[in-house]
């Protein structure tokens, strides 16, 4: 009887252990699953959005190519009416209302900066990149004025660049495209033109006294120039440790690049490239007519070939919510190729890209811009008019 009683007790204990252990194990598995980063729709209803910036109160300002700025509520449920006071834009091709940035002292000086394609005032189909600033007041932009415009309007609706990034000293970097037309792109190598450049200006549009071509003038070089030889830099972000400006650039057919835009450096376009002229076949074997390297011209930190990913907005992740991502560079992608329509995560060791990982391809979305929310989530702006929130 004692033996039978002992066996019964052991069976009971084992059964109860299994009964209580299984749910705990399932809970742990479920917890691990739920903590994996996932992209969920945060807001929708935007039309052809391009740039976004997160306000201190959690709202998100978004530009729409047609020439509108909308405000998304902090919970993502409400989309404001278009803000008044926005400049007139040329909404054609790649042009329209594009880049967006907030003043470094926005809490006390609520300036908003917009990059856009501006029409030639003399008429015709010519346009150029310009930067506008105004104060955000309620649902309006007030006291607005253009503080920068390209020194040459071009009959092209492509390659406006248009990202705006503030440096640590509160000067402003603006990326400018080569304007796409074959007859224009060579001006990316000319220091008296704004084509294919990164410029550095003060918040009011004036020229910083310590700009490289102010401190050490070069014949014909515009004083606002920072770097040159860029093709179409549609993404830009400031490195959180070094304070240097990193840019993403569209290559021609293949050859998309990530570069560190350093003062007076020449990034080679259109003399060298890791891509090919459109229509070149087979793309796997094509080589740029000018080659891929040349003395005095910078090499990219990383590049994509043979096919383009069409890189767009980008950020360095500095939050604590995803510790495995801290310090990573996130780059949106627009292309319909295998590497496009997803978010790229670049793992860095100093200035070296040691790994690249494609995320959220399952969304099937053209990711136009990337931002970080105050609580450390990642926001993805898609061409389809949605904002996705990457969270646990």
Lookup: tokens for 266: 């020449």
Tokens 């040691």 -> residue:
354
**C-alpha span between 37 and 245 (Å, rounded):** 27
Tokens 């200035």 -> residue:
351
To the query of whether residue 159 is one of the catalytic residues in this protein, the response is yes
Q: In terms of DSSP bridges, do strands 127-137 and 111-119 run parallel, antiparallel, or are they unpaired?
A: antiparallel
Lookup: tokens for 98: 């594009």
> What amino acid positions are annotated as catalytic residues?
159
């Amino acid at each position: 009887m004692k033996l039978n009683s002992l066996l019964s007790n052991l069976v009971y204990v084992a059964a109860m252990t299994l009964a209580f252990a299984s749910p705990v194990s399932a809970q742990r598995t479920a917890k691990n699953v739920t903590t994996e980063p996932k992209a969920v729709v945060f807001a929708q209803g935007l039309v052809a959005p391009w740039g976004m910036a997160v306000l201190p109160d959690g709202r998100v300002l978004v530009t729409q190519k047609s020439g509108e700025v909308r405000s998304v509520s902090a919970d993502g449920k409400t989309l404001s009416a278009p803000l008044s006071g926005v400049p007139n834009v040329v909404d054609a091709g790649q042009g329209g209302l594009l880049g967006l940035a907030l003043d470094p002292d926005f809490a006390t000086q609520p300036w908003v900066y917009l990059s856009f394609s501006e029409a030639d005032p003399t008429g015709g189909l010519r346009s150029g990149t310009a930067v506008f600033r105004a104060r955000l007041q309620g649902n309006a932009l007030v006291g607005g004025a253009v503080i920068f415009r390209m020194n040459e309007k071009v009959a092209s609706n492509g390659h406006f660049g248009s990202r705006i990034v503030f440096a640590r000293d509160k000067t402003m970097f603006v990326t400018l495209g080569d304007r796409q037309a074959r007859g224009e792109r060579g001006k990316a190598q000319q220091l008296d033109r704004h084509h294919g450049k990164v410029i550095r200006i003060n918040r009011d549009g004036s020229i910083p006294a310590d700009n490289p071509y102010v401190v050490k003038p070069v014949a014909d070089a515009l004083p606002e120039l920072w770097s040159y030889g860029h093709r179409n830099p549609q993404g830009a972000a400031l490195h959180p440790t070094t304070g240097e400006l990193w840019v993403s650039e569209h290559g021609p057919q293949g050859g998309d690049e990530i570069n560190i835009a350093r003062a007076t450096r020449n990034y080679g376009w259109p003399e060298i490239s890791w891509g090919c002229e459109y229509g070149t076949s087979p793309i796997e074997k094509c080589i740029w007519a000018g080659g891929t390297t040349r003395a005095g011209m910078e090499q990219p930190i990383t590049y994509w070939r043979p096919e383009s990913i069409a890189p767009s907005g980008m950020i360095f992740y500095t939050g604590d919510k995803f510790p495995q991502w801290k310090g990573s560079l996130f780059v949106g992608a627009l292309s319909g190729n295998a590497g496009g329509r997803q978010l790229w995560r670049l793992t860095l060791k100093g200035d070296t890209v040691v790994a690249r990982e494609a995320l959220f391809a399952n969304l099937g979305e053209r990711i136009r811009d990337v931002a970080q929310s105050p609580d450390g989530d990642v926001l993805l702006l898609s061409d389809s008019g949605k904002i996705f929130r990457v969270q646990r």
